[in-house]
Amino acid sequence: MSDTTIPGTSGSPGTPRARHARHAKSPAQPARDPRSPKGPGPQDAKPAGLWSDAWHDLRRRPLFIASAVLICVILLMAAVPQLFTSVDPYDAAGCRLGDARQAPSSGHWFGTDSQGCDTFARTVYGTRVSLLVGLSATLVTTLVGGLLGLVAGFRGGWPDALLSRVAEIFFAVPSVLGALLILAVFRTGTMWTVMLALAMLAWPMTFRIMRAAVITAKGQDYVIAARALGASGGRLMFRHILPNSIASVIVVATVNLGVFIAAEAGLSFLGVGVQSPSISWGLMIADARPRFLEAASPLLFPAAFLSLTVLAFIMLGDAVRDALDPKLR
């Protein structure tokens, strides 16, 4: 990641980009403060860019370490759930109706649900759907919103006006209800339709942030210098402006990941998301709901996993934002 701000020694020589990289502040911060352009910091002498600086800073943050460890465990759980439980919840033979709604015990750590299936195994296997939806929706949102924002901010004029109006329209549609509606069009919900519905309504946020960052970066001296040296539009966009405006988009992406995971659970809970026999935390919560007052554990354990996963990504976003935006300290 850190190589994004290493000055390009080939190509256009003498691009003063690296020295200015530290000034690429997060535009998420309202630009009300006229004193915000900071003078050169004391560390400007060394060539460390924003990214290596941020990484250096991140490694020593307890918040980052905690979230990184948690995320590693969650990723492992999503990739190889067999490591965590020997029960295969997709094998219906493992569920015995006679064992329905048992309290947590040594045989069933989290108890059993209304079908007599092991809640722990189902919860572990549910990680995959949540993470896949979250990651893919984040990827699509960031790519689409980021690219459109880059183009709109850089070109200005009618492409900007058009894209901004379209983004405004999507922004005005209430997100949960809109997603519910989009999902109703596809009769059977799968991971991919959920991803599509979430991404369709979330890209305008990334678009706005990217556009604002690009407009700020566009006016900086190093871009004007590169333009004067004859750099092409594409080179300006991808070599000079993009690396200096992507920080805030990355922060939003990390937070979005947590939000998407929560949204997937919500939509699956409402019955328009992932469908049974797939296993999803939202579905498990919906299944456990009718008997919630007698047997709370089939609902509370997936709920706890869901909250922990969202917490991990929100914490990561927090730590990354603090590292990338020194102004907030």
Q: What's the first-to-final CA gap in the chain, in angstroms?
A: 23
Give 46 or 329: the residue with its C-beta nearer to another protein: 329
The tokens for 150 are 């880059």
| Residues composing the chain | 329
User: How many angstroms separate the CA atoms of 215 and 219, rounded?
Assistant: 7
Q: Does 174 bind another protein (CB under 8 A)?
A: yes
Give 139 or 270: the residue with its C-beta nearer to another protein: 270
User: 3-state DSSP call for residue 302?
Assistant: helix
Distances (CA, A) of 203 to 146, 158, 213, 253: 8, 20, 16, 10
Task: Give least dist CB 270 to another protein, A.
Answer: 7
Distances (CA, A) of 241 to 31, 65, 267, 305: 19, 30, 37, 39
Q: Does 165 bind another protein (CB under 8 A)?
A: yes
Task: Give least dist CB 168 to another protein, A.
Answer: 5
Among 7, 109, 296, 326, binds another protein (CB under 8 A): 296
Judged by CB under 8 A, the stretch of 118-126, 142-150, 234-242, 307-315 that binds another protein is 307-315
Q: Does 306 bind another protein (CB under 8 A)?
A: yes
**Of 126, 162, 141, which Cα lies nearest the Cα of 206?**
141
Q: Does 70 bind another protein (CB under 8 A)?
A: no
Q: Residue type for 45, please?
A: A
Judged by CB under 8 A, the stretch of 81-89, 220-228, 235-243, 290-298 that binds another protein is 290-298
Task: Give least dist CB 173 to another protein, A.
Answer: 5
Give 139 or 173: the residue with its C-beta nearer to another protein: 173
Q: Residue type for 37, please?
A: P
Q: Residue type for 150, please?
A: L
Among 285, 295, 323, 324, binds another protein (CB under 8 A): 285
Contacts of 97 (CB under 8 A, 6+ apart): 115, 116
> Where do the H-state alpha helices sit in the chain?
17-21, 50-58, 62-79, 119-155, 157-172, 175-185, 191-218, 221-228, 233-235, 242-245, 247-270, 281-288, 297-324
Q: Does 315 bind another protein (CB under 8 A)?
A: yes
Judged by CB under 8 A, the stretch of 90-98, 113-121, 169-177, 222-230 that binds another protein is 169-177
Judged by CB under 8 A, the stretch of 92-100, 103-111, 181-189, 217-225 that binds another protein is 181-189
Q: Which chain residues interact with another protein by CB under 8 A?
A: 30, 32-33, 165-166, 168-170, 172-178, 180-182, 184-185, 187, 258, 262, 265-266, 269-270, 282, 285, 289, 292-293, 296, 299-300, 303-304, 306-308, 310-311, 314-315, 318, 328
